[in-house]
Chains A and B, each alone.
Chain A
């Protein structure tokens, strides 16, 4: 038994105001943040709002921010968070509005999920028995399929925080599950890749890795997004800033061993899009004035040929 302090962010929906409330209670070393919250609502303060059910990291109900990062409360041992009796701070998920206390409004999460048409589009009519598929192909999908829709990745997504239109990590990981399913028709897969390559889709992820870090089920949404990007480019969906950026980046590093920043912007935007190019003029001027202008002549780095060889080796596959 140890005494712990939880600093819980409360939200009163009727007064529409938030405040922090401290609870002090005794817990066993084996207990989780969720166990502590349940004790609070059952024996200390019955007004505390929190969603929870399975207590085994399966139902996905209890995602919330614990010490600043989204986690499942039922998978967060108190002793790991408060070894020295530090106060644990509990807040509702981010990028969503609170409904009451730790209960967040997940409608944005589900809206984005519906946006990717999250269901298998297989050949019709279906075969009389099962569709034949390899175990490896099915097993590949299990990573993405492990997702329990808890919302942790959406809560802490840095891109979503500044751009509400971004489809976001959970829905894109879900989309990957169909893109990589051998039962999906070619037409449907192609259609998905085209849609996902549009603005607000796969290229709007900024690689901050936060979703990989906070996902309690090792879905690694960002890696799934990268998988879709690869599939989309292979399918020929390269007429967008993201894939041009990716190509330009790779081309430059392959050739010179380092990034040619001066070419990156125009190549990403496309040389023919004068309007988009012009938008970057003020930034370029500011960079020059602050002495941040990249060199006009982009020289090869010593040993660049070794970098080229790495590319050539990888491209063989």
Chain B
């Protein structure tokens, strides 16, 4: 059995940032991740990270950044959280720079910015189109420097609760297959998103909503889970992400006839309207026959080879490798694709969940910055601002707690081993986890996507509940202990089915259109009845739905036009 003051589960940007803060405050902190930290999906963030810093010739202020974020969220984001993020952003960006991030510079050697979607002013700091990767690696450098313990390739199986508070986790060391208990006075979940609940998705195969499911089982509510973002530019074929930074640098979206169709949907912001708006526009164009093979086009030709090679090199490579398109010479076929979940574990502005000792940060959390729709380059910002704040809060709690009583290690381990045995003893072949996951992903993408209908969403909820029953017959072919992916895929599927159910329940219930939740049967936003958060709790009788108010500080609802 292992002991720490603070245990962070997940080693993407939010998790590592939280851990570094705990380390600086003198806590005994450790990080646990089911993959090596640099494999985390923060890697995939391309375009940049927002902060209103003013600077040379800029009139940007934190208030404008906050307002843009509120408007982007379609007035579902909590304005207290948003104010904190916008105010603290500059200092966190400077800190990343001091750690070693090689941000692009302007002619004066100061940090340079690029334009991004939904933003009044240009405020996105970047490293080419590998911003997430560049920050993630620097954060891991800091982790190596600290020498803190990293439980690398350990998979979290269950949170331990003592007298109503979370006191640790039971986890599987994937390499050895051993089940272990790690006790901690504070546990921070930073496990990222849920992309695999959908098929296709821009997300990596590791994005299976583990932390959300663990928190949900432990009694914390999941909030606004129906808010799922479709990114406007995902590559035809493998669905890889092409950064919004391309449009920030001036790329166009065009129909098969070469028309810049965004003129008809967002005459002011055009291609740089918020993502939900652009994705709906693309979907409409494709449905009305102005695309080719289910795609419209991202046109970078006029940007020129030099700019593309310096600032958009990764997407140049992606388009060439995976769609055989040279973006210097040809428009690239793209379509909206599932990308991000605004919803997550409800937290306060210090990352605390409703369960004592349990914290959450990053995509798995919902501190309610993004509300109904996230602005590009606000997600990286959220990870560092709220990763840091959560690290502080979790450490403060841990350092004020008395030593934990020893957990009943034997029975905790035996409980999980018993679960494994049950799965392994089932007759083979039953259902495979891959087949069930695919069915789930396809129905989620069909019905809880860019446009939604009551009938479609109910169909999906029915299918998910059917799959949960079939889950009882899923078999595991691999009976080995070492690196048993097969077993892990079944455990992940269980998490995903429960998360999928909360998404579908929240979506069916919300009878309006707001942000990413666009219903053809309720096409208008309804601030009177629906300017509120959806909460889904786990209960013995199944998921329970509840609501909570949205925090409004200084920006009352307005009509949202780009």
A positions within 8 Å CB-CB of B: 12-14, 30, 41-43, 45-61, 75, 77, 99-101, 103, 106, 113-114, 117-120, 122, 126-135, 138-139, 141-142, 145-146, 148-149, 181, 183
Contacts and interface: CB of A to CB of B under 8 A. Distances in A.
Contacts of B476: 46
Interface size grouping (class) on chain B: 35 or more
A12 B477 CA distance: 15
**10 pairs of A and B residues whose beta carbons are closest in the complex:** A120-B100, A42-B434, A53-B204, A135-B105, A132-B109, A126-B98, A46-B477, A119-B141, A47-B478, A13-B482
Interface of B: 35-36, 38-41, 43-44, 93-94, 97-100, 102-112, 127-128, 130, 133-134, 137-138, 141-142, 144-145, 175, 204-206, 237-238, 240-241, 310, 314, 317-318, 321-322, 432, 434, 476-478, 480-483, 485-486, 489
Contacts of A30: 237-238, 322
Nearest to A131: B97
Contact of A145 (B105, B127, B432): B127
A51 B206 CA distance: 10
A46 B432 contact: yes
Contacts of A114: 144
A129 B94 contact: yes
Given A30-B237, A56-B240, A130 B100 contact: no
Contacts of B434: 42-43, 46
18 contacts: A14-B482, A45-B477, A47-B477, A48-B485, A54-B44, A55-B205, A56-B240, A56-B322, A59-B41, A99-B175, A120-B138, A127-B98, A135-B106, A138-B104, A142-B102, A145-B102, A148-B38, A148-B133
A99 B144 contact: no
Nearest to B105: A135
A275 B98 CA distance: 48
Contacts of A126: 94, 98
Contacts of B105: 133-135, 138
Interface centre among B109, B237, B476 (most CB of A within 10 A): B109
A305 B143 CA distance: 55
Given A119-B144, A120-B138, A148-B133, 14 more contacts: A13-B483, A30-B237, A30-B322, A46-B476, A46-B489, A47-B477, A48-B485, A53-B41, A56-B318, A100-B483, A118-B144, A133-B109, A142-B127, A149-B137
A141 B144 contact: no
A49 B153 CA distance: 14
A53 B39 contact: yes
A286 B142 CA distance: 52
A49 B177 CA distance: 13
A263 to B, nearest CB: 43
Given A53-B206, A130-B94, A142 B128 contact: yes
A122 B104 contact: no
B318 A130 contact: no
Given A131-B97, A134-B109, A148-B133, A46 B478 contact: yes
Nearest to B241: A56
Nearest to B111: A130
A82 B38 CA distance: 32
A106 B41 contact: no
Nearest to B55: A129
Contacts of A132: 108-110
B124 to A, nearest CB: 15
Contact of B43 (A48, A49, A59, A77): A59
A131 B102 CA distance: 10
A139 B483 CA distance: 39
Given A53-B204, A55-B205, A181 B480 contact: no
A127 B321 CA distance: 41
B104 A52 contact: no
A43 B486 CA distance: 11
A138 B145 contact: no
B477 A57 contact: no
A13 B110 CA distance: 53
A54 B478 contact: no
B478 to A, nearest CB: 4
Given A54-B41, A120-B100, A138-B105, A49 B483 contact: yes
Contacts of B38: 59-60, 148-149
B43 A120 contact: no
Contact of A119 (B142, B317, B486): B142
Contacts of B489: 46
B133 A106 contact: no
A57 B43 CA distance: 10
B322 to A, nearest CB: 7
B480 A13 contact: yes
A145 B44 CA distance: 15
Contacts of B97: 130-131
Nearest to B481: A14
A42 B144 contact: no
Contacts of B240: 55-56
Contacts of B142: 119
B480 A14 contact: yes
A120 B94 CA distance: 15
Contacts of A101: 483
Q: By CB atoms of chain B within 10 A, which of A13, A119, A128, A181 has the most?
A: A119
Contacts of B310: 139
Given A46-B478, A148-B38, A181 B206 contact: no
Contacts of A42: 432, 434
A50 B142 CA distance: 28
A2 B105 CA distance: 48
A120 B241 contact: no
B482 A106 contact: no
Nearest to A103: B483
Nearest to B130: A146
B151 to A, nearest CB: 14
Contacts of A14: 480-482
Contacts of A59: 38-41, 43-44, 204
Given A42-B434, A99-B483, A58 B44 contact: yes
